[in-house]
Structure 1
Amino acid sequence: MDAGMAPLFDDGRPEIPGGVDGAVERVLVVGAGIAGLTVANALAHAGVECVVLEARDRIGGRLHTVDLAGSRVDLGGSWIHHPTGNPMHRFAQAAGIACRPATPLPTLTGFDCATGLRLSHDEVEATLTPELDGFTRALGPLRTQLGPNASAADGIEAFLAASGLTGDPLRRAAQGLRANVEADAAGAAERQSLEWLWTQEEYGGDYFGVQPEGGYATVVDAMAAGLDVRRDWAVSGVDVADGGVSVTSQSGGTERGSHVVVAVPLGVLKAGRPQFSPALPVERTEAVRRLGFGRYEKVLLAFDEPFWRRVGWSHLVLFTPDAAEPASWVLDLDAFGGGPVLACHTFHSATGHLGSPAASTRWVMDMLSGALGAPCPEPVAVMVTDWAGDACAEGSYTHVPPGCSNSDLDLLGRPVAGRLLFAGEHTQSARLGYADGAMTSGIREAKRLLGTAAVSLGPLSSS
């Protein structure tokens, strides 16, 4: 796609961000996730030399699509949430990537593993929807009542204490609310600030929105097409001087440029990588330390056929006996056109059940057997994510703990010394935790470097 034909994108803000020193001649981007690739794509369309340095042997970061027994499955992000007006959806459409609706809500049923109770769609809706809607409406009064240092768990407890629920319905309501909080925050409800819970901006359309056909790899590949990406190039150090920047690899290689954009996950920054010279300002390192970065894992089971349809369910909420755990959501990927695969979405406080692939599979299959009322068939292939154990991620995505604020996120998006820039979902508060938030952070940094109010994005010709 020629630059003149590529559509223009902005980050939702009319202003051109400043803070850049010197002529923008050669930009180094550390990290080939969607944030880094977006920066590089925009710069390439503008004719600026750009090199992307990626530690892994693949691109995409936490957007990672793999083949599981012939089905394409996303190990990380899988939805384009709120697709109407969403730049990620607009990019996919412009790149010719088909997207399909993928909401589980119309056919969602449930099973209580503690009592053996099966919950119909209407019963699940009656259990979850009123409590979620009520909790959302009560956030303002709860913040006033509990104060600025309260956690989301504190808010859930106070809200349900006034609900009149008791016994198992109370447990299920608490687990349902915890699942919503921990899915959004990738962290324990006790570590999520009530003050800043669900304060992100929203685009239009359904929350679950759409999924790119063939997985998020189709979007990643379109954004990366024609770019200079160096794989297996693990950055160890970033040096900033008056005249430019230099980036060194763990194997001793060096790349030099006029500016550098660091687009690694917050978890990697929290682990002290890469090393910066001079050191980052104290307020920056303190914000990195304070912000939270937790887990959201998937157990993916592929089968010969979608046998669950024979017993009358598709998507399933599983309520465990432990009231302190969030419910787990088991999604029927076949219903989204993805093949006979069940994906158990496991939120932070339930990830203690995950260990080896065999142990993780057994935990999920035992719950499925209870829901089926019979032994669950053996899967033909299994994949269990471990984003927390991935040295290039160190977790799933960012949340704001009690005592922090959204301003900590926005601070991480500001340049340092005129030549060191940052991108990623953790560098902005508007769409924290969303892939489109990472994308718009890349647009923001490209706007900053180019001095323009909008940038061109689209697959580049490799010729």
Structure 2
Amino acid sequence: MRSVGRIGLLVLLWWKQFQSALGSEEDSCPAGSPRCGSCSGRILVVGAGLAGLVSAQTLQRAGCEVVVLEAHGHVGGRAAALQTGPFRGFDAGAQWVHGGEENLPIMALARFFNLTVEHVGGNTDFEGDHERHRLFLAHGPNEDVKAEAFRQYLQAEEHFDRRVSWVIAEQRRDLALRSAWQLILNRSFDPLFEWQLRVRNEQSWGISAEQVGTRLSEVAVYSTFYSQDAPGDAKLIGGFGSLVRELAKGLNVRYNTEVTSISLESAVSVRTANETYRGAAVIVAVPLTVLQQKMHLQPPMSSDWNASLHRLQMGDVAKLFIKFADGQSPEGSGTYLLSKLVSHTSRSLLYYCTWEAATSTRPSTVPAPPPSTLICLLSGASFSEVLKLKQAGKEALRSRVVEELLQMYPQLQSTAVEAVQLVSFSWDPSVLGSWTSGKVGSSSRDFSIFEQAIPGIAFAGEHTCRLMYGTAQAAIVSGARAAHEVLAGRLDGTIGSTWPFFDKELYSLCDELADEARKENCGFTCPTLWAPLPEVVPSLFQDWQGMPKKARRCWSRLGWRPLSWMRQARKPASSFKKWPLLSFAEKTAATCLGFSAETWNAALKEMTDIILCRSGCTHLQLWDCLAKNQQRDWQHLGIDRSTLNEELASAAATKSWRQLTRLQRKAAIRIGYRPWLW
């Protein structure tokens, strides 16, 4: 009997180990177990891209048991290296460290894992130092034309930035980014500007300007890591694949395990085609389009939640790799970025390319080998073209590449092209896109769905990170944030750890501005907030006694007095009239101050807030610059980030003072409103 009992015990132990290996047993890490550290049970992470890997590492280093479920046969997601072929080791997706050493999240990991970066220069629009950028026209490269193109664009961009909020407010709706540019510039685009607009939008948003919403892309706050004297972008030596390899070490990853549904109805259960995994919580770190189209959540999310989710989108970008035979590269190390003047409808393949050497983990002190590979990014009309070439076969693609190269380098031998390869995550059924942008009609409010506390589940991925969406650093920070949502402050297992993402300053960067972004966006004065009005009507932002006598006389003719000027009395009747309704005398007085019909109507909508700001109100900064108590005051009035800063309509604006609750009136008074100003 004793031997039978021993055999039974062995069988039982074997069965437990077998269940643990399959991951099918329920809550194998029970609450209170010492080996669970800061967790109350096993945590499941769906997706082993940057977001999923950082989530898993953060949880595991906090003492949790973590199982990562990955649909591919490798880790890394859109930061993975190519696994096979002549370009093995090159980055299939993420390629640059935007902001270089100022990029806090990526550099924190690079230092932790002793990885090094090398300077590239440039920014998210145009990679590489300016002097290493060659722009090709029909008859070859031209530095003067390139310099003129950049000058024109920066001049237009300054004008656009001053007026874009006005235009969105005036239209009372979001616009496609290209439409906003056309409306503001009020002219047809010349070829130089057309090329810049296309390249900048495709590089920033992975999609054409016709498909991106202006409110989210240009009006909402966005964090970058470019200080005034920043040296620009960098690359990880060894590529992002070197970072992925370090992040994956020591993790329990189940490969080729595609999740089809997640249930939170009784306990957390994650279903695949062949298995059901159970745990205390799940972190969903799959790409946006997979979440939209393929991930079934039970119980279903609300209709508002789904509406916000579907106002976000992923673009389509392909990478074209071109390898040249030894010694036959048409460019030397003096060129990094190669671009070609194209229209927004052009189907050219070689209009935005960088010259790269084979990836390696060489020390930063060792010079890079000469570039022998051209990597081109294709989106918009060119993505449609390359899809046709992909279907036609590799020889058709090679012929097209050689044809375009010969147009740029007539002396090049066609045999110089040794290999070509196309890669796009849009063609990967487990990704289905490049990176996130907002559709027309989106706002930063749409990201709030990922900030809501939902028991048992958290979301990670670049699409969940409001302040940095669409970037590798967004994926990293969102992964750490999701881990801390699961940990819920239980950090006993982190004492003495050097893991950088136990630092709240890092893992909160999706929701709180980085220092550099705070310097750029916060502390605005009234004239700065309403630019370019101060240039047109400077007296609008001056004290009554401090403005010139002539301006005071003109304001007096419009009915303004010292008390109304400083919110102590009602605004005059003229401040409620649109330009066509003003009398001749009122128009004369307004013109004397510098107003035109357009600027008068624009100022009319903002006059109450201008009075508040002029009177010392501190609530009229960007939402992310406000203190928590100031944000709460606005929230009492039903106003959030998108209504305050992104011209989204607010229901509070339709209520009279008497319709406000007592709590709302108190909040309004703290902000600076008075009954006669509401």
The TM-score by the shorter chain falls in which range? 0.7 to 0.9
Assess, with a 3 A threshold, how the Cα gap between structure 1 residues 322 and 187 changes in structure 2: closer, same or farther. Answer: closer
Residue number among 116, 134, 157 corresponding to 1:135 in the alignment: 157
Shift of 1:285: 1.6
Q: Residues 370-394 of structure 1: CA distance to partner in whole angstroms, max 9, x if unpaired?
A: 1112455342222201221110111
In structure 2, the residue matched to 1:81 is 98
In structure 1, the residue matched to 2:421 is 383
Assess, with a 3 A threshold, how the Cα gap between structure 1 residues 413 and 354 changes in structure 2: closer, same or farther. Answer: farther
Which structure 2 residues correspond to residues 5-404 of structure 1 after superposition, within 5 A? Answer: 24-66=40-82, 69=86, 72-83=89-100, 84-103=102-121, 104-105=128-129, 106-112=131-137, 116-132=138-154, 134-135=156-157, 138-145=160-167, 147=171, 148-158=173-183, 161-162=186-187, 170-198=190-218, 199-204=221-226, 206=230, 209-242=233-266, 244-250=267-273, 252-271=274-293, 273-305=294-326, 307-309=329-331, 314-320=336-342, 323=345, 328-334=351-357, 337=368, 339-355=371-387, 356=390, 357-375=394-412, 377-378=414-415, 379-404=417-442
In structure 2, the residue matched to 1:442 is 479
In structure 2, the residue matched to 1:4 is none
C-alpha contact (below 8 Å) 1:153/1:178 kept by paired residues:
no
Identity of aligned residues (%): 23
- Could you say what the CA RMSD is over the residues aligned between the two structures, in angstroms? 2.8
Q: Residues 341-381 of structure 1: CA distance to partner in whole angstroms, max 9, x if unpaired?
A: 00111123421110314444444432222111245534222
Provide the C-alpha distance between the structure 1 equivalents of 2:71 and 2:498, rounded to a whole number of angstroms: 24
C-alpha contact (below 8 Å) 1:191/1:292 kept by paired residues:
no
Shift of 1:123: 3.0
Q: More displaced, 406-415 or 292-301? A: 406-415
Provide the C-alpha distance between the structure 2 equivalents of 1:156 and 1:406, rounded to a whole number of angstroms: 21
C-alpha contact (below 8 Å) 1:318/1:330 kept by paired residues:
no
Provide the C-alpha distance between the structure 1 equivalents of 2:203 and 2:336, rounded to a whole number of angstroms: 20
Q: More displaced, 119-128 or 422-431? A: 119-128
Provide the C-alpha distance between the structure 1 equivalents of 2:358 and 2:154, rounded to a whole number of angstroms: 25
Q: Residues 12-47 of structure 1: CA distance to partner in whole angstroms, max 9, x if unpaired?
A: xxxxxxxxxx96311100000000111100000010
Shift of 1:402: 1.4
Provide the C-alpha distance between the structure 2 equivalents of 1:102 and 1:453, rounded to a whole number of angstroms: 41
Q: Which has the bigger relative contact order, CA under 8 A and spacing at least 6? A: 1
Provide the C-alpha distance between the structure 1 equivalents of 2:321 and 2:489, rounded to a whole number of angstroms: 43
* SS class of match (1:216): helix
Q: Residues 175-226 of structure 1: CA distance to partner in whole angstroms, max 9, x if unpaired?
A: 2112111211112211111122254211245585111111111111111110
Assess, with a 3 A threshold, how the Cα gap between structure 1 residues 159 and 28 changes in structure 2: closer, same or farther. Answer: same
Query: Structure 1 counterpart of 2:98, which letter?
Result: H
Runs of 4+ more than 4 Å apart: 159-162, 205-208, 310-314, 321-327, 453-459
C-alpha contact (below 8 Å) 2:280/2:456 kept by paired residues:
yes
Q: Residues 67-86 of structure 1: CA distance to partner in whole angstroms, max 9, x if unpaired?
A: 65366311111011013142
Task: Pick the structure with more strand per residue.
Answer: 1
Shift of 1:135: 1.4
Q: Normalised by the size of structure 2, how large is the TM-score?
A: 0.59
Query: Structure 2 counterpart of 1:248, which letter?
Result: R
* SS class of match (1:134): helix
Query: Structure 2 counterpart of 1:118, which letter?
Result: G
Confirm whether residue 426 of structure 1 aligns to residue 447 of structure 2: no
Provide the C-alpha distance between the structure 2 equivalents of 1:310 and 1:352, rounded to a whole number of angstroms: 31
Shift of 1:255: 1.0
Provide the C-alpha distance between the structure 2 equivalents of 1:195 and 1:325, rounded to a whole number of angstroms: 28
* SS class of match (2:414): coil
Query: Structure 1 counterpart of 2:382, which letter?
Result: A
Q: More displaced, 445-454 or 182-191? A: 445-454
C-alpha contact (below 8 Å) 1:27/1:257 kept by paired residues:
yes
Query: Structure 2 counterpart of 1:274, which letter?
Result: M
Shift of 1:155: 2.8
Shift of 1:320: 3.1
Aligned residues: 426
C-alpha contact (below 8 Å) 1:222/1:458 kept by paired residues:
no
Provide the C-alpha distance between the structure 2 equivalents of 1:68 and 1:189, rounded to a whole number of angstroms: 34
Assess, with a 3 A threshold, how the Cα gap between structure 1 residues 382 and 309 changes in structure 2: closer, same or farther. Answer: same
Assess, with a 3 A threshold, how the Cα gap between structure 1 residues 324 and 152 changes in structure 2: closer, same or farther. Answer: farther
Assess, with a 3 A threshold, how the Cα gap between structure 1 residues 453 and 91 changes in structure 2: closer, same or farther. Answer: farther
C-alpha contact (below 8 Å) 2:207/2:315 kept by paired residues:
yes
Q: Residues 236-282 of structure 1: CA distance to partner in whole angstroms, max 9, x if unpaired?
A: 1111134x3011111x21111000011100011222x2211111222
Shift of 1:453: 9.8
Shift of 1:323: 5.0
Provide the C-alpha distance between the structure 2 equivalents of 1:152 and 1:437, rounded to a whole number of angstroms: 23
Query: Structure 2 counterpart of 1:264, which letter?
Result: V
Assess, with a 3 A threshold, how the Cα gap between structure 1 residues 154 and 304 changes in structure 2: closer, same or farther. Answer: same
C-alpha contact (below 8 Å) 2:330/2:412 kept by paired residues:
no
In structure 2, the residue matched to 1:13 is none
Assess, with a 3 A threshold, how the Cα gap between structure 1 residues 258 and 178 changes in structure 2: closer, same or farther. Answer: same
Provide the C-alpha distance between the structure 2 equivalents of 1:374 and 1:261, rounded to a whole number of angstroms: 54
C-alpha contact (below 8 Å) 1:182/1:347 kept by paired residues:
yes
Provide the C-alpha distance between the structure 2 equivalents of 1:213 and 1:230, rounded to a whole number of angstroms: 28
Assess, with a 3 A threshold, how the Cα gap between structure 1 residues 135 and 364 changes in structure 2: closer, same or farther. Answer: farther
C-alpha contact (below 8 Å) 2:97/2:103 kept by paired residues:
no
Q: More displaced, 48-57 or 383-392? A: 383-392
C-alpha contact (below 8 Å) 1:263/1:424 kept by paired residues:
yes
Provide the C-alpha distance between the structure 2 equivalents of 1:341 and 1:400, rounded to a whole number of angstroms: 33
C-alpha contact (below 8 Å) 2:89/2:241 kept by paired residues:
no
C-alpha contact (below 8 Å) 1:238/1:248 kept by paired residues:
yes
Q: More displaced, 126-135 or 380-389? A: 126-135
Provide the C-alpha distance between the structure 1 equivalents of 2:346 and 2:155, rounded to a whole number of angstroms: 21
Shift of 1:229: 0.6
C-alpha contact (below 8 Å) 1:223/1:458 kept by paired residues:
no
Shift of 1:314: 4.6
Shift of 1:130: 3.8
* SS class of match (1:57): coil
* SS class of match (2:215): coil
Structure of greater Rg: 2
* SS class of match (2:251): coil
Provide the C-alpha distance between the structure 1 equivalents of 2:333 and 2:76, rounded to a whole number of angstroms: 37
* SS class of match (1:388): helix
For structure 2, the 5+ residue unaligned runs are 1-37, 122-127, 360-367, 501-678
Provide the C-alpha distance between the structure 1 equivalents of 2:483 and 2:461, rounded to a whole number of angstroms: 13
Query: Structure 2 counterpart of 1:31, which letter?
Result: G
